[in-house]
Chains A and B, each alone.
Chain A
Amino acid sequence: MVYYNDMDYYLGIDVGSTASKCVVVDASGEIVARGLHPTGAGTVGPRACVDEALAQVPDLPSADDVASSCATGYGRHLEAWTTMQMSELSCHAKGAAHLFEGVRTVIDIGGQDAKVLSLDEGGRLVDFVMNDKCAAGTGRFLDVMAGVFGCAVANLSELDREATEIAAISSTCTVFAESEVISKLAAGTPIPNIVAGVHESVVERTHGLAKRAGVTPNVAMTGGVALNDSLRERLERRIGLPVATSPLAQFAGAYGAALHACGQGGNA
């Protein structure tokens, strides 16, 4: 339990399509609490992640007691109680700039979309590309595939490490890829090899997106998919550059939102 007294706190909430994340920072921009709930916009997730974060700061009995708050993510406009709402592109850029020193390219793969952000030397967002409406290459794609394998999405990384070869998945569409995976399972292809193929599929799409934006080192990865080490390492090999990540990668958007709320760190 962390105790802070006579301090202003700033809250950021990232309401994604599949998870809600909350970060509370102090006036210096240091993270003092965070919360995560595995459901997103339109569910109890946003409230739950805020409650989880507030429970870690006794000075803050409720979200009304923060000095300022900012909502980001797909469901940001549903959080009308916050002081401001900002796009997740701006918030991920700011959060990543604080999490990863000298980062110039941020690859964020969230539950529903994938985006590549270009930052200048000062950590300001200068360009971005984002996938369109398709779920291919996103966290949702991995969720669907994990469902087919009958495992938790968190186990995909370990399964990949057991692969002896890559069972290529040629379909980029999530629905068709699911059919392809089922066909491979029916043909007796080992699950780890198919997982490797699924990861390669995500990597190829992400690489294409990154090429559209341009890749400048240092490169960092944020979003829930960044926690999948095997996939991240495959991405490193494809891009040919180290791709940094952090245990806080999934909180980058909420962290950036909290920093926006307290006006920290330039205008990234």
Chain B
Amino acid sequence: MAAIETMLATFEHVATNPHEQLKEHLDAGKRVIGVGPYYAPEELVHAAGAVPFGVWGCSGTANEARKYFPPFYCSLCQMTLEMGLTGKLAGLSGYMTTALCDTQRAASQNWRAGVGNAIPLIYVSQPQNRATEFGRAYAVESYRQVAHEIEECAHGIIDDEGLAASIKLYNEWRAAMRQFVKLAGTHPAEVGVQARLAVINAGYYMEKADHLALVNELNAALAALPESAEGFKRVVLSGIFEDIPAITGMLDELGYAVVADDLAKESRSFAMVVPEDEPPFEALADAWCALEGDSLLYDPEKAHVKKVVDLARESGAAGVILLLAKFCDPEEFDAPLVKAACREAGIPFLQIEIDQSTETYEQARTQLEAFGGLL
């Protein structure tokens, strides 16, 4: 247990001190490229010899970014641009982002206008038509173009051999993270909600190989312990992200355990498996095209809705909590469907609206307390 606590303390330190981590990378002479949401082909950055560094906004108030956005705009986009405009990301050699929603697309162009050449934007255009040959071809070509831009920023060359090695590492890392999510769900006494989040967030700032080694060590230690979920309120978290300290603090305080998640920043991003037996650019494209069950993806059958219900059933969750990111259109479109599906399946459902610029969540406390009673 002491070893687990020591490991968790390391993750916690990294997760809460990203700037220290960035400085370490820079001091070591590495080039660092910011990687934003969603499903960005991070392997390309790694293969170019640079360090991918997660940029998913931060808690705070957007002041400078408000000059570029209307008030009713996704806080994740606003706070990411705020970080870029206020020098919080100084040292990055580039910032890579995709554009799976209209909000993100406009935000990327605002980055170009506001941050400009100080941190060049690497725009990843992914096709939403994923089940077609032309969609796949588009993805392959798009990733090749992105690779050139990354090479410019990283001052490195991406060759097939290096990219294949990066894909292998990332597949191992994502598998380890999937295993960690399961183990954290069965061992909430050892890994609380905030600690679980710290392990995940540290992966956004550390070198992937270093994070993988530490996660593997943690997984082995947890697997050796008996399960500890008895007495916890077991829930699935759905949404884009959960990094609101007030919310995760309440979840811990009120005895919740996250037994599985459908969060874009967490399990959705670990879900991808890139084929290792085909040319690497085609493999990355195939992995993208194989994705499903996500509010951010073109999903005419709404597989995402069924996925949340299945996740709750398979993980033995007593309820689903949707942390609805304010002004997130894709999530807001799916929210009533997810709620109805949960209700039909007899799964208690709670929706809490969150954003990175809200400071107080006392109404959420009331709702979480009452929801715990329903479970």
Contacts and interface: CB of A to CB of B under 8 A. Distances in A.
Interface of A: 74, 86-90, 113, 125-130, 132-133, 267
Of B362, B367, B370, B374, the most chain A CB neighbours within 10 A belong to: B370
Contacts of A89: 366-367, 369-370
A130 B370 CA distance: 11
20 contacts: A74-B362, A86-B369, A87-B366, A87-B367, A87-B369, A87-B370, A87-B373, A89-B369, A89-B370, A90-B369, A90-B370, A90-B373, A125-B374, A126-B374, A127-B343, A127-B374, A128-B370, A132-B353, A132-B363, A133-B363
B156 interface: no
Interface string B23-56: 0000000000000000000000000000000000
Interface string B338-367: 000001000011010100001000110111
Contact of A127 (B348, B353, B362): B348
A125 B366 CA distance: 14
State which size class the interface on B falls in: 10 to 19
Interface SS majority for chain B: helix
Contacts of A129: 351
Given A87-B367, A89-B370, 20 more contacts: A74-B362, A86-B369, A87-B365, A87-B373, A89-B366, A90-B369, A90-B370, A125-B370, A125-B373, A125-B374, A126-B374, A127-B348, A127-B349, A127-B374, A128-B370, A130-B363, A130-B366, A130-B367, A132-B363, A133-B363
Contacts of B370: 87, 89-90, 125, 128
Contacts of A90: 369-370, 373
Interface SS majority for chain A: mixed
A142 to B, nearest CB: 19
B230 to A, nearest CB: 20
Contacts of B349: 127
Given A89-B366, A90-B370, A128-B370, A133 B358 contact: yes
A212 to B, nearest CB: 8
A113 B365 CA distance: 13
A25 B168 CA distance: 67
A126 B358 CA distance: 28
Contacts of A130: 363, 366-367
Contacts of A128: 367, 370
Contacts of A87: 365-367, 369-370, 373
A89 B353 CA distance: 18
Nearest to B350: A128
A109 to B, nearest CB: 14
A161 B123 CA distance: 60
B366 A88 contact: yes
Contacts of B366: 74, 87-89, 130
Of A86, A126, A132, the most chain B CB neighbours within 10 A belong to: A132
Contacts of A88: 366
A129 B324 CA distance: 14
A267 B362 CA distance: 23
Contacts of A125: 370, 373-374
Contacts of A74: 362, 366
Rank and list the top 6 A-B pairs by shortest CB-CB distance, nearest first: A89-B370, A87-B369, A87-B370, A87-B366, A132-B353, A90-B370
A132 B325 CA distance: 13
A113 B348 CA distance: 22
A103 B208 CA distance: 56
Nearest to A113: B363
Contacts of A132: 353, 363
Nearest to A85: B369
A122 to B, nearest CB: 14
A199 B365 CA distance: 29
Nearest to A73: B366
Contacts of B369: 86-87, 89-90
A125 B370 CA distance: 9
A8 to B, nearest CB: 24
A113 B343 CA distance: 24
A193 to B, nearest CB: 31
A125 B363 CA distance: 18
Nearest to B343: A127
A205 to B, nearest CB: 16
B369 to A, nearest CB: 4
A88 B362 CA distance: 12
A99 B343 CA distance: 28
Interface in B238-277: none
Nearest to B369: A87
Contacts of B343: 127
A133 B369 CA distance: 17
A136 to B, nearest CB: 14
A126 B342 CA distance: 13
A104 to B, nearest CB: 15
A2 to B, nearest CB: 32
B246 to A, nearest CB: 13
A82 to B, nearest CB: 15
A88 B368 CA distance: 11
B106 to A, nearest CB: 24
Contacts of B374: 125-127
A132 to B, nearest CB: 5
Interface string B96-108: 0000000000000
